[in-house]
């Protein structure tokens, strides 16, 4: 096991474009990958409660063994750690590409964070608190929906290709035995990951 490090930040599925300041983990030895392992079956080589930030971008949809992966993330993350997971939005053309095993929508994080948190975390006391969702929208879609008098929230729930990708921001909570109930994350909408759309 690696020794705990202050401010340890890790990226799962970093590929050749690791986020600066993060320890990169991937199942292939791309340039810049610090640790090569298969997150579906291999334990993360970090001590319990040693990670303050976990980031993953366009990798989770390729994973398969979610209970194991989430238990490992929960184990290595310290209380209060942030888990930031970006995937293609499940109800989009990008979400349905070859190689994607799961088409992530809000329902997945409802299951993970509070509806079935014991299935995913099993004996580990605590839960993931779903703090926020950031949506990268199809260019111009807000204006087009307004012209049709359709709300963005309705469109996200019932229409296709509204969001191209999205990020779920979770907080690791280890101060309760399980999720206390439903969670309502803050929603923000962007064209790209930084330009506000509304």
List pLDDT tens digits, range 108-126: 999 999 999 999 999 899 9
Structure tokens at 77: 């993350």
Residue 133 lies in a domain: yes
Instruction: Give how many domains the chain has, as a whole number.
Output: 1
Predicted structure pTM score: 0.93
Residue 1 lies in a domain: no
User: Per residue in 10-48, pLDDT tens?
Assistant: 999 999 999 999 999 999 999 989 999 999 999 999 999
- For residue 180, with 0-12 CB atoms within 10 Å meaning exposed, 13-18 middle and 19 or more buried, which class applies? exposed
Structure tokens at 37: 């392992």
Residue count of the chain: 198
**10 Å Cβ neighbour count for 197?**
19
We report the CATH number of the domain holding residue 158 as 3.40.50.150
Report residue 191 CA to chain centroid gap: 19
Cβ-based neighbours of 43, under 8 Å, separated by 6 or more: 72
Residue 157 lies in a domain: yes
CA-CA distance, 42 to 78, in Å (whole number)?
A: 20
Residue 111 lies in a domain: yes
Residue 73 lies in a domain: yes
Residue 160 lies in a domain: yes
CA-CA distance, 89 to 86, in Å (whole number)?
A: 9
Residue 3 lies in a domain: no
Residue 179 pLDDT more than 90? Answer: yes
CA-CA distance, 109 to 196, in Å (whole number)?
A: 23
- What is the pLDDT averaged over residues 87-105? 95
Are the CB atoms for 76 and 48 separated by under 8 Å? yes
- What is the pLDDT averaged over residues 68-76? 98
Residue-number span of the structural domain to which 185 is assigned: 8-196
Phi, psi of 44 (to 5 degrees): -70, 135
Q: Tell me, what's the pLDDT at 50? A: 97
- For residue 184, with 0-12 CB atoms within 10 Å meaning exposed, 13-18 middle and 19 or more buried, which class applies? exposed
Residue 2 lies in a domain: no
Q: Tell me, what's the pLDDT at 6? A: 59
Q: Tell me, what's the pLDDT at 3? A: 46
CA-CA distance, 133 to 102, in Å (whole number)?
A: 18
């Amino acid at each position: 096991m690696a020794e705990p490090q202050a401010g340890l930040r890790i990226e799962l599925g970093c590929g050749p474009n690791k986020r600066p300041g993060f320890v990169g983990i991937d199942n292939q030895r791309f340039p810049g990958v610090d640790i090569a392992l298969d997150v579906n079956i291999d334990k993360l080589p970090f001590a319990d409660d040693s990670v303050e930030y976990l980031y993953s971008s366009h990798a989770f949809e390729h994973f398969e063994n979610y209970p194991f992966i989430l238990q490992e993330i929960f184990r290595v993350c310290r209380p209060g750690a942030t888990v930031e997971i970006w995937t293609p939005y499940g109800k989009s053309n990008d979400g349905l590409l070859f190689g994607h095993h799961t088409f992530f929508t809000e329902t997945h994080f409802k299951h993970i964070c509070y509806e079935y948190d014991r299935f995913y975390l099993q004996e580990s006391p605590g839960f993931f608190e779903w703090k926020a969702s950031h949506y990268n929208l199809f260019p111009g879609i807000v204006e087009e929906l307004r012209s049709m008098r359709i709300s963005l929230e309705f469109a996200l729930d019932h229409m296709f290709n509204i969001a191209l990708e999205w990020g779920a921001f979770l907080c690791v909570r280890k101060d309760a035995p399980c999720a206390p109930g439903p969670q309502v994350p803050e929603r923000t909408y962007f064209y790209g990951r930084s330009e506000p759309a509304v």
